[in-house]
Structure 1
Amino acid sequence: MNDQYTRRSFLKKAYRLTIGTTLTILFGYTYARFIEPKQLEVTEHSIRSSFIPEPFDGVKILQFSDTHIGHYYDARQLEQLVETINHLKPDLVLFTGDLIDAPDQYGHPEELIPILKKIVAPLGKFAIYGNHDHGGYGTESYKIIMELSDFQLLVNSYIPITVKNSSIYLAGLDDYMLGRPDFEQTLGKIPENSYTIFLAHEPDVAKVSHSYPVQLQLSGHSHGGQIQIPFIGPIVTPPYGTEYVEGFYSIGQKPLTLYVNRGLGTTRVPFRFFSKPEISLFTLKAD
């Protein structure tokens, strides 16, 4: 009798454990596939520096990155994103690469132009190449899309941003993986003692850029790991996005401030777990 009762109790516990495990897996899958990828987070930060000119005090800079359109991120979501961006009323908008996941497989890239064109930024809209923008024969099509959307594409180049006769500098590196990056051409001729914002798709290039007179580097690429395990961290990170995965880092003796944006879309697998999609809003403070 006791043996039978013990076996029956064991089977009940095993059944409950199996059901509980199955429900947990189903919930985890549903959350990572359908819920978290749509939980857009707006992160707001203040950036202080003695190099920031007084007229730039309070200027708002918005960064968005890694939409990967075509891989479970569509034009409708991009339209909603643009509405959110315009609601925040940024002065300057920066896109740090990977617009379309697979340019050679996306059927209607022209539909993105009127959407991106709606973004309003009084001090300008600027973009750089990501590895997916060069991949899939996308180099020229990405250039056309961004320029027709009123974005200025920075490719190993820099430009002054001027307010009331004072300037900061914005520099953009060609993609480190699939482009032809040139740090010296991008950063070597910027006037000394100028506040410089450096756009580079892959965050790990900060190990090179920190040796130049750059105060702030904005990057994407890593997706914050896209799937993170609590207390462990990201399962997989991409090349040149392994050391700096998300958020702020201080690098070098100067130091360089690096911010890694988690991006908006997904790639390879359509999941996000403990790595919500993000747009970043930075407010400059003259210190």
Structure 2
Amino acid sequence: MAKKQTRRIFLKRSFGSILTVLGLGSGGFLYANRIEPSLLDIQEIQIKHRLIPDSFDEIKMIQFSDTHLGFQYTLQQFNKLVEKINSLQPDIILFTGDLMDEPNQYTEINKLIPILKKLHAPLGKYCIFGNHDHGGYGSDIYRNIMETTNFTVLLNQAVPVITKDGSIIYLLGIDDAMLGNPNLPLTLKNVPKNTFTILLSHAPDLAETASQYPIQWQLSGHSHGGQIKIPFLGALVTPPFGQLYPEGLYSVGDDSPLSLYVNRGIGTTRLPFRFLSKPELTIFTLKPEI
């Protein structure tokens, strides 16, 4: 009982400190707790590279990440997100981890599966593990959900994406850095040289390692953009493996640098707030570069 009271006091003090730092009154509390978490920001990014085949010109990929269903984010909200993604008519759908906040505690899997099944992309749906997907003995739960809903689960694997004329790019997916065992050499083992590659890594900071391999782009999530940011100061807290690159577009490495994009995610975790860090859906359009 004493342990629970200590934890409760700690959470209350932490919560109070955050409100004080942010200067949140009742209106600010409502904004950070109810309004900003529901304000979907759609970012559009062009991916240009000389290794992209001509037949991939204007191919559209949509990335979503970090839904954390069961904490604050609901199935009703998720269903609207799925409808929005489908309305954008993606060719490829990418999910970069943390589907449920606590997989082994989530009680609405039977309702979740039909919603995920509705997502449609003619060139495939692909996903990777995040730390919450592994947490709470959730690895098998997450894999079963994603495979049941026609996602290809990439666990230290590479798969070709092939257009009608036989042109190929490769999608790579590595395990989570916090609770998994990422293995880039294994992932790249059967990928031909001089092929355009996109790496899915839940943890953005693995770009430091990925930039040493023949990988052109990395797409990540995990950091939530800090989730709560202070004007002029940035994020209050960033997670392990999400501290170097918290959000947005980066160039990593010196020779043939890796392009990294970090999506802010959809849901929240630990604290049910977003402040100056809106939920994000990212649209990537492929463009051959002459």
TM-score, normalised relative to structure 2: 0.90
- Secondary structure in structure 2 of the residue aligned to 1:238: coil
Which of the two has higher C-alpha Rg? 1
Query: Structure 1 CA distance, aligned partners of 2:94 and 2:136?
Result: 23
2:89 matched residue in structure 1: 89
2:185 matched residue in structure 1: 184
2:6 matched residue in structure 1: none
The C-alpha deviation readout for 1:6-27, integer Å capped at 9, x for no partner, is: xxxxxxxxxxxxxxxxx95222
Query: Structure 1 CA distance, aligned partners of 2:190 and 2:205?
Result: 22
Letter in 2 for 1:273: F
- Secondary structure in structure 1 of the residue aligned to 2:55: helix
**1:263 to 2:284 alignment:** no
Query: Structure 1 CA distance, aligned partners of 2:110 and 2:138?
Result: 13
Report how far residue 111 of structure 1 moved: 1.5
What are the within-5 Å matches in structure 2 for residues 96-175 of structure 1? 96-163=96-163, 164-175=165-176
Q: Which moved more, 1:187-196 or 1:248-257?
A: 187-196
Query: Structure 2 CA distance, aligned partners of 1:223 and 1:109?
Result: 24
Report how far residue 202 of structure 1 moved: 0.3
Letter in 1 for 2:287: K
**1:80 to 2:80 alignment:** yes
- Secondary structure in structure 2 of the residue aligned to 1:273: coil
Letter in 2 for 1:254: S
1:225 matched residue in structure 2: 226
The C-alpha deviation readout for 1:140-182, integer Å capped at 9, x for no partner, is: 0101100011101000000000111100000000111111211
- Secondary structure in structure 1 of the residue aligned to 2:260: strand
1:19 matched residue in structure 2: none
Query: Structure 2 CA distance, aligned partners of 1:110 and 1:216?
Result: 35
- Secondary structure in structure 1 of the residue aligned to 2:161: strand
**1:278 to 2:289 alignment:** no
RMSD value, Cα: 1.0
Query: Structure 2 CA distance, aligned partners of 1:261 and 1:226?
Result: 12
- Secondary structure in structure 2 of the residue aligned to 1:136: helix
Residues 59 and 285 in structure 2, CA contact (< 8 A), matched pair in contact too: yes
TM-score, normalised relative to structure 1: 0.91
The C-alpha deviation readout for 1:34-68, integer Å capped at 9, x for no partner, is: 10000011111111110100000000000000000
Letter in 2 for 1:134: H
Query: Structure 1 CA distance, aligned partners of 2:123 and 2:219?
Result: 17
Residues 188 and 212 in structure 1, CA contact (< 8 A), matched pair in contact too: no
Report how far residue 107 of structure 1 moved: 1.2
**1:58 to 2:47 alignment:** no
Query: Structure 2 CA distance, aligned partners of 1:25 and 1:107?
Result: 34
The C-alpha deviation readout for 1:69-119, integer Å capped at 9, x for no partner, is: 000111111100000000100000000000000112111222211100000
Query: Structure 2 CA distance, aligned partners of 1:204 and 1:24?
Result: 31
2:37 matched residue in structure 1: 37
Report how far residue 31 of structure 1 moved: 0.6
1:247 matched residue in structure 2: 248
Q: Which moved more, 1:165-174 or 1:103-112?
A: 103-112
Residues 198 and 216 in structure 2, CA contact (< 8 A), matched pair in contact too: yes
Query: Structure 1 CA distance, aligned partners of 2:104 and 2:167?
Result: 42
Letter in 2 for 1:281: I
Letter in 2 for 1:39: L
Query: Structure 2 CA distance, aligned partners of 1:24 and 1:197?
Result: 40
Letter in 2 for 1:261: N
2:18 matched residue in structure 1: none
Letter in 1 for 2:279: P
Residues 47 and 284 in structure 2, CA contact (< 8 A), matched pair in contact too: yes
Letter in 2 for 1:46: Q
- Secondary structure in structure 1 of the residue aligned to 2:25: helix
The C-alpha deviation readout for 1:208-247, integer Å capped at 9, x for no partner, is: 0011111110000000000001110000000000000000
Residues 67 and 266 in structure 1, CA contact (< 8 A), matched pair in contact too: yes
